[in-house]
A and B are shown apart, each in its own frame.
Chain A
Amino acid sequence: AQKVTQAQTEISVVEKEDVTLDCVYETRDTTYYLFWYKQPPSGELVFLIRRNSFDEQNEISGRYSWNFQKSTSSFNFTITASQVVDSAVYFCALSEARQGAQKLVFGQGTRLTINP
C-alpha cells in the first residue's frame, strides 16, 4: 500500500527565514512519481513539482528546492528567504507509475505561515 506522511502539521516562521517541509513516503513499487502541491487560502491546488523515482537529482526553482533521497524515502521541500505570499498548505503526493495507476495519494499537508 502507498502512504505519504507529512509529520509537520503546522509551521510558522518569520519572513526571510528558510523553511523545510518534510515528506516521507511508502511504496512497494520500484517506479513511482512524487509531487508537491500548494493550496493557498483560495483553496485551489497548484502543482509545484513532479519527480520520477529514477531521478534523484535535487532540483532548484528560484527560492524553491527539493531534496529527494530514496535511501530514506524522503522528498523534502525547502523555501529559501520565505515571503508572506508563501503562506499556504503544502501537500506531498505519490503516484504509482504502472499502467492504470493514475491516482495521487496525498499526505495530510503542512500549514505554513510566514509572518511579516
Chain B
Amino acid sequence: GAGVSQTPSNKVTEKGKYVELRCDPISGHTALYWYRQSLGQGPEFLIYFQGTGAADDSGLPNDRFFAVRPEGSVSTLKIQRTERGDSAVYLCASSLKGGPNYEQYFGPGTRLTVT
C-alpha cells in the first residue's frame, strides 16, 4: 500500500514569508507525528496528533509554528514569518495507533530552505 507522502518535496521561500507543509499519512493510521531534521543531526520531535487533536505539541519551537489535522487524516504544518534558522528537512510519520508499541512510518520529508 501507499506510504506516508509529503508535499512539496522541496520548498524555497524568502525570510518573513508564510509556508505550509502537507503530510498524507498511511490510510487508517490514527497517530501522526512531525519532526524536524537539521543538517547532520537526528530528527527532533515537533508535535504529535492522536486523531484530530494535538496530544503533545511540546516540541514546537515557538508560536510561529502551528499544525492542524482537521479530519484526522491529512496534516498541515504552518510556519509564519519564516527565519533562516527554520531551514531543515521536515519529516512526517504515522503509526496505526499512538505509543511506542506501534512503529512509526516516515515520509520522505520536505526540505525547506529560507533565503
Q: How far is the CA of A109 from the CA of B43 in the complex (A)?
A: 9
Interface size on A, residues (CB 8 A): 26
* Residues of the A chain whose Cβ atoms lie less than 8 Å from the Cβ of B31: 102
- The answer to whether A102 touches B33 (Cβ under 8 A) is yes
Q: How distant is A97 from chain B, measured CB to nearest CB, in Å?
A: 6
Q: Is the CB of A33 within 8 A of B100?
A: yes
Residue of A nearest to B89 (CB): A43
Chain A residues near B42 (CB, 8 Å)? Answer: 4, 91, 93, 106-109
Query: Is the Cβ of A106 less than 8 Å from the Cβ of B56?
Result: no
**Chain B interfacial positions (CB closer than 8 Å to A):** 31, 33, 35, 40-45, 48, 50, 55-56, 58-59, 89, 91, 93, 98-101, 103-109
Q: Are B55 and A45 in contact (CB under 8 A)?
A: no
Tally of contacts, chain A with chain B, CB under 8 A: 64
| Given A103-B56, A103-B59, A42-B108 contact (CB < 8 Å) | yes
Decide yes or no whether A50 CB sits under 8 A from chain B. Answer: yes
Chain B residues near A91 (CB-CB < 8 A):
42-43
A32–B42 CA distance with the chains assembled, in angstroms: 19
Could you tell me which A residues sit within 8 Å of B by CB distance? 4, 32-33, 37, 42-47, 50, 91, 93, 95-97, 100-109
Q: Can you list 6 A-B contacts (CB < 8 A)?
A: A33-B100, A93-B42, A102-B100, A104-B35, A106-B42, A106-B43
Contacts of B104 in A (CB 8 A): 47, 104
Decide: B109 and A103 in contact? CB cutoff 8 A.
Answer: no
Q: How far is the CB of B99 from chain A (nearest CB, A)?
A: 6
The residue of chain B having its C-beta at the shortest distance from the C-beta of A31 within the complex is: B100
Known: A33-B100, A43-B108, A95-B100. A100 touches B43 (CB 8 A): no
Residues of B within 8 A of A42 (CB): 108
Q: Which residues on A sit within 8 Å (CB–CB) of B107?
A: 44
What residues on A are CB-neighbors of B100 within 8 Å? 32-33, 50, 95-97, 101-102
Contacts of A97 in B (CB 8 A): 100
Q: Is the CB–CB distance between B41 and A108 below 8 Å?
A: yes
List chain B residues, Cβ under 8 A from A44: 106-109
